[in-house]
Each structure stands twice: as C-alpha cells, then as structure tokens.
Amino acid sequence: MLKLQPVQVHNTALKSLAPGLVVVFQSAADTTIASMRTINPSVQPKFLQPDISLLQNVDSGCAEIAAKEKRLNLLFLTSGYMSLKGRDETTEGLDRKLVLHYYARMRFAAQLHKTLLPATRLSRVVSVLDPHVSVRVGGSGTLDFSELSLKHAFSLNTCGAHAILMGDFFVEGMTQQQPHNSFVHTDPSCVATGLIRELPVGSVLSAMLSTLLSAFMAPIQERGERHLFAATSERFPPKAEGEFMEGDVAAGCY
C-alpha cells in the first residue's frame, strides 16, 4: 500500500475541481451536501435516490444523469453492505447483495461510458470494494462459470468471490473497449460507514459492535484521502496514455 504522506501531498496540490456533481445515494444526503458546500461553496450537487438493487432503476438513473450531464470526469462506485442473510432475491431474480457489489456498479460503468468518453482533464471509474475478499473469505479466487448469478449455489463466500472477480474481469474488458478511460479498484479497508446496518442486531448491540470494531477500523479521514488520490492521481493513466506497470493486469486498469 502506498504510504499516506505522498497521497496527502498530491491531494493538497489539487487546486480546483469542477463544481458539477451528481450524487446517487440510497439514503438522505442533506448532511453530505451541506459538507460539500462547506468545503467548496461553488459546488452544484444534484441528488438522485433510486433503489439501485433493481437494475431497471440503475438504467433510469443513468438516463437521468446523462440527460443532466453531457460530460462526466469521474464515476465513483461504492454501493454494497454487510449481511448474514442467505440469497435475498429481488423482483428481477438476482441476489440483492450481488447486485449492489457487482451488477449495479458495472451497469453504471457500461451505461455512462459515452458521457465519460468526451472528458478531457480526467476520465475515470473507481470501484471501492475489497479486492482480496474472494481469497480471504474462502472463495479461493474462483468463479463458478455455470452459476455466475449464484441462483442455485449461493453463499456469502461465493458471493464475495463472484462480485470481486467478475468486477475485475469486467473492467479489464472495458479497458480494451475504452482506452481513454482508466479504471481503479480500490480497497476501502474496514471503515465505520454504516457497514453493519443490515446485520440482524438491535440498535444497542449495533452500537456496541461499532465501538468494539472501531479499534480495527481505518480512520475515515485517511480512507477519504486515499480515495481522493485514487480518483485524481496521474499514477493511474488510461490505456491510451499509460505504460504497463509491473503488478497490474493491464495498463489502464489498476
């Protein structure tokens, strides 16, 4: 992992960012928007609130974004949650967790690629999800190609493995089709961002778990610094501009 100091140096050197911002959340965004305006009074956030566990809502959200914004520089994807449930099927026949961790993210990237292409200063897709979970939780880094959607062979382990591996393969393919965009898969680490809100525990126990786990969680400020770096650094050039970097599967995909 890159040391924090060069990350902070890069972030401090950022003079300005475009004021336009489209924010797609599944919960109230008043606090976030107020914070953005405190940092940058010229920011013009546009808030959308679809249920993106349904791909039809992802499609309509993408259409609305494309209608409002002719050019996107950055697509920053963070949808997901922790769960102890088994398969939780949506009305579209897909598991809700797998949709949020894979299908919805990739649908956003595929549907909005035309608005990313014209971007001149920066054109990047960042997906925030632990890239090592497929091995660490017992997925062994393998895909069941006969059951990619896991309709009949679902477990939390296989769901984690499939979301990560299919996401990586997808963006590698997108890199070949979109050489002027760069794609970054960044590790969020464990951060106190409401990750356990879907666990079947009461509010008191949830607060206790959050307190107990806080010692093992990365500071939110640091993760924010690292994600801003991933979103803006020239260290991650698109395939059309970059050279092969040792340790990366393909130039333009990191």
The three-class DSSP label of residue 38 is helix
- Per-residue model confidence (pLDDT) at position 140: 55
The three-class DSSP label of residue 48 is strand
- Per-residue model confidence (pLDDT) at position 249: 47
- Per-residue model confidence (pLDDT) at position 6: 72
- Per-residue model confidence (pLDDT) at position 15: 56
Query: CATH for 50-232, among 3.20.20.150, 3.40.10.10, 3.40.50.720, 3.20.20.80?
Result: 3.40.50.720
Q: Give pLDDT tens digits for 3-60.
A: 777 767 666 666 555 555 555 554 557 777 787 788 778 877 888 888 999 999 999 9
How far is it, in rounded angstroms, from Cα 159 to Cα 164?
9
Name residues of the chain where pLDDT drops below 50: 26, 139, 249-250
Q: Where are the domains of the chain?
A: 50-232
- Per-residue model confidence (pLDDT) at position 247: 52
Count of residues making up the chain: 254
How far is it, in rounded angstroms, from Cα 137 to Cα 246?
26
Residue 46 contacts residue 22 (beta carbons within 8 Å):
yes
- Per-residue model confidence (pLDDT) at position 196: 57
- Per-residue model confidence (pLDDT) at position 35: 77
- Per-residue model confidence (pLDDT) at position 69: 86
What's the one-letter identity of residue 7? V
* Residue-wise DSSP of 90-144: -TTSSBHHHIIIIIHHHHHHHHTHHHHTT-SS--EEEEES-TTHHHHTT-TT---
- Per-residue model confidence (pLDDT) at position 120: 66
